[in-house]
């Protein structure tokens, strides 16, 4: 069976060879006025120097790099060594910049954590890092590379634009506390009894005011036999041009593809709101396993707060909007992470409200999701009890390799 292309902008594109890439992407060692600039894989002994120039990335708020450094290096040197690398730029042997490249699928690379020593900015360090990051991505088999940056980070946007990246999505993150309406999954013997998918759907319908809806709205989870119908609907979705056809996993994004959608359907992770046999909204939701670390708990376990800013996309320990009084209304704990959501504004509002009940039925604390930065969607999410997380929109950039 020939795999269908991903939906939206997340399409397979013909790979360029290293020879066909720009001179910047072929950068090796560079002679500067200060000495020789070299980009190489990170080493454990780089830690102190890297932490020093990252100490004030966001002023007194510091940076998240110290929270992910050990994991990044462990991944690079462990079983996943073929799927990611931390690159360090050195000037006469002294670390002056870093970035992290990893594969989100067999042919999709993610670039994150681009940092340059403030004393060495505008000297070519950033260009060297990105050039080597693209070469590393190609070596891993990537045919496309992406990264995240916030809307105010003009320097990062301009740097990546020099390498042919273009913006394909402008996204906002939302979150809401779980609902417990009609929740009869009370704790028993110290454990929470999880509702079945059918029970979750019935209670979610009631929570969203859909149980006795005269127009016959239905909330269901689908199986793999619904693939053709769902894929056809997704390829004609009016929201796809705004989300780039991407699914968002924590703080990374990759193309939504046929094999992945089939896996989600087989696992009962695709929720559908429909009426009169017409799809109104769809969500792919994944509850975190108990063994997995919760991103939002990192700041609680740390002695200092992690800021709600980033110049690249952050996956291991990304904070929410610290210091925001409204932020405290959303409880910490396990979350129902919505990896992909699509549909009409009204359909999304109803579906996302129902997902809050689904989260409650499963003993989760809240729901998190990404949506395009559109006013009509912001109003819809407010109506469903969701709050925007962070002050700036996050922009997704992409280029073919």
Place of tokens 């996302």: 352
Contact 88, 41 (CB under 8 A): yes
| Mean pLDDT, all residues of the chain | 79
Lowest mean pLDDT segment, chosen from 59-68, 101-110, 329-338, 388-397 = 329-338
Instruction: Give CATH superfamily name and number for 23-163.
Output: Gcn5-related N-acetyltransferase (GNAT) (3.40.630.30)
Cα distance between residue 206 and residue 354, in whole Å: 8
Q: What is the predicted pLDDT for the residue at 99?
A: 96
Q: What are the distances in angstroms from CA 42 to CA 55, 89, 235?
A: 18, 9, 41
Among residues 68, 74, 92, which one has the least CA distance to residue 312?
68
**Per-domain residue ranges of the chain:** 23-163, 173-288+334-395
Residue 290: Cβ-neighbour burial (10 angstroms; 0-12, 13-18, 19+): exposed
How far apart are the C-alpha atoms of 110 and 316, rounded to whole Å? 13
* HSE, side-chain direction, 13 A CA sphere, residue 105: 21
What is the C-alpha separation between 389 and 401, in angstroms, rounded?
32
Gap between the Cα atoms of 344 and 380, Å rounded: 9
- Kindly list the distances between the CA atom of residue 293 and the CA atoms of 250, 297, 317, 335, 360, in Å, as whole numbers in the listed order: 12, 8, 9, 11, 19
pLDDT at 61: 81
**Predicted local confidence at residue 212, as pLDDT:** 52
Give the C-alpha separation, 50 to 120, whole Å.
13
Question: How far apart (Å, rounded) are the C-alpha atoms in residues 330 and 177?
Answer: 5
The position carrying tokens 């399409």 is 11
Residue whose token pair is 């859909």: 210
| Helix/strand/coil percent split, the chain, to 5 | 35, 30, 35
pLDDT one-digit tens code per residue, 285-327? 987 643 344 444 333 333 333 333 333 322 223 333 333 333 3
With tokens 């002050």, the residue in question is 391
Kindly tell me the sign of the dihedral angle through the C-alpha atoms of 231, 234, 235, 240: negative
Average pLDDT over residues 116-143: 94
Nearest to 282 by CA among 241, 330, 247, 249: 247
| Euclidean distance between CA atoms 53 and 51, whole angstroms | 6
pLDDT category at 192 given cuts 50, 70, 90 is very low
**pLDDT at residue 269, as a whole number:** 95
Contact 83, 140 (CB under 8 A): yes
Instruction: Please write the tens of the pLDDT for every residue from 130-142.
Output: 999 999 999 999 9
Q: How far is the C-alpha of 29 from the C-alpha of 86, rounded, in Å?
A: 17
Strand partners of residue 228: none
Q: Of 84-88, 117-121, 191-195, 387-391, which gets the smallest average pLDDT? A: 191-195
- Tell me which residue of 369, 326, 363, 330 sits closest to 348, measured CA to CA: 369
Distance CA 145, CA 101 (A): 9
Q: Read off the pLDDT of each residue in 71-96 and give the average, rounded to a whole number.
A: 85
Query: Cβ atoms within 10 A of the Cβ of 13, count?
Result: 15
What does the pLDDT read at residue 344? 95
What are the φ and ψ backbone dihedral angles of 172, each rounded to 5 degrees? -125, 145
CA–CA dist 47, 45 (Å, integer): 5
Return the higher-pLDDT residue of 328 and 145. Answer: 145
Residue corresponding to tokens 């809806």? 213
Write down the number of H helices and E strands in the chain: 11, 17
What confidence score (pLDDT) does residue 145 get? 98
Q: Do 173-288+334-395 and 23-163 fall under one CATH topology?
A: yes
CA angle 50, 252, 365 (to 5 degrees): 105
List the CATH code of the domain at 173-288+334-395. Answer: 3.40.630.30
What 3-state class would DSSP assign to 398? strand
Q: Is the pLDDT of residue 366 over 60?
A: yes
**What would the 3-class secondary structure string for 165-191 be?**
CEEEEEEEEEEEECCCCCCCCCEECCE
Using CB atoms within 10 A of its CB, is residue 64 exposed (0-12), middle (13-18) or buried (19+)?
buried
Predicted confidence band at 201 (pLDDT cuts at 50, 70, 90)?
A: low
With beta carbons less than 8 A apart as the criterion, state whether 346 and 378 touch: no
**Helix, strand or coil, per DSSP, at residue 294:** coil
């Amino acid at each position: 069976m020939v795999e269908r292309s991903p939906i939206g902008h997340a399409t397979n594109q013909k790979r360029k060879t290293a020879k066909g890439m720009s001179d910047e992407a072929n950068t090796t060692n560079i002679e500067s006025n200060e000495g020789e600039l070299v980009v190489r894989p990170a080493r454990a002994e780089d830690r102190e120097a890297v932490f020093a120039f990252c100490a004030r990335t966001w002023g007194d708020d510091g940076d998240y790099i110290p929270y992910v450094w050990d994991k990044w290096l462990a991944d690079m040197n462990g079983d996943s060594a073929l799927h990611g690398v931390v690159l360090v730029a050195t000037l006469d042997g002294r670390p002056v910049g870093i970035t992290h490249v990893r594969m989100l699928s067999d042919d999709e690379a993610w670039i994150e954590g681009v940092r340059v020593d403030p004393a060495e900015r505008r000297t070519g360090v950033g260009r060297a890092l990105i050039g080597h990051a693209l070469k590393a991505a190609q070596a891993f088999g990537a045919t496309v590379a992406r990264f995240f940056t916030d809307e105010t980070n003009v320097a990062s946007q301009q740097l990546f634009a020099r390498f042919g990246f273009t913006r394909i999505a402008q996204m906002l993150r939302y979150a809401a506390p779980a609902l417990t309406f009609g929740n009869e999954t009370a704790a028993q013997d110290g454990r929470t009894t999880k509702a079945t998918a059918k029970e979750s759907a019935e209670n979610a319908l009631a929570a969203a005011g859909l149980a006795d809806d005269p127009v016959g709205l239905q909330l269901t989870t689908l199986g793999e036999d619904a693939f053709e119908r769902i894929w056809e609907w997704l390829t004609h979705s009016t929201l796809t041009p705004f989300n780039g056809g991407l699914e968002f996993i924590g703080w990374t994004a990759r193309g939504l593809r046929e094999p992945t959608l089939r896996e989600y359907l087989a696992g009962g992770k695709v929720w559908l709101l429909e009426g009169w046999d017409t799809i109104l909204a769809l969500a792919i939701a994944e509850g975190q396993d108990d063994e997995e670390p919760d991103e939002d708990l990192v700041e609680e376990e740390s002695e200092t707060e992690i800021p709600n800013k980033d110049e690249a996309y952050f996956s291991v320990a990304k904070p929410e909007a610290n210091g925001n009084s409204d932020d405290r209304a959303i409880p910490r704990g396990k979350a129902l992470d919505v990896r992909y959501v699509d549909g009409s504004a009204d359909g999304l509002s109803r579906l996302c409200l129902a997902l809050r009940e689904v989260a409650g039925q499963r003993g989760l604390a809240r729901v998190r999701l990404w949506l395009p930065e559109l006013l009509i969607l912001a109003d819809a999410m407010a109506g469903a009890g969701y709050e925007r997380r962070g002050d700036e929109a996050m922009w997704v950039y992409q280029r073919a390799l």
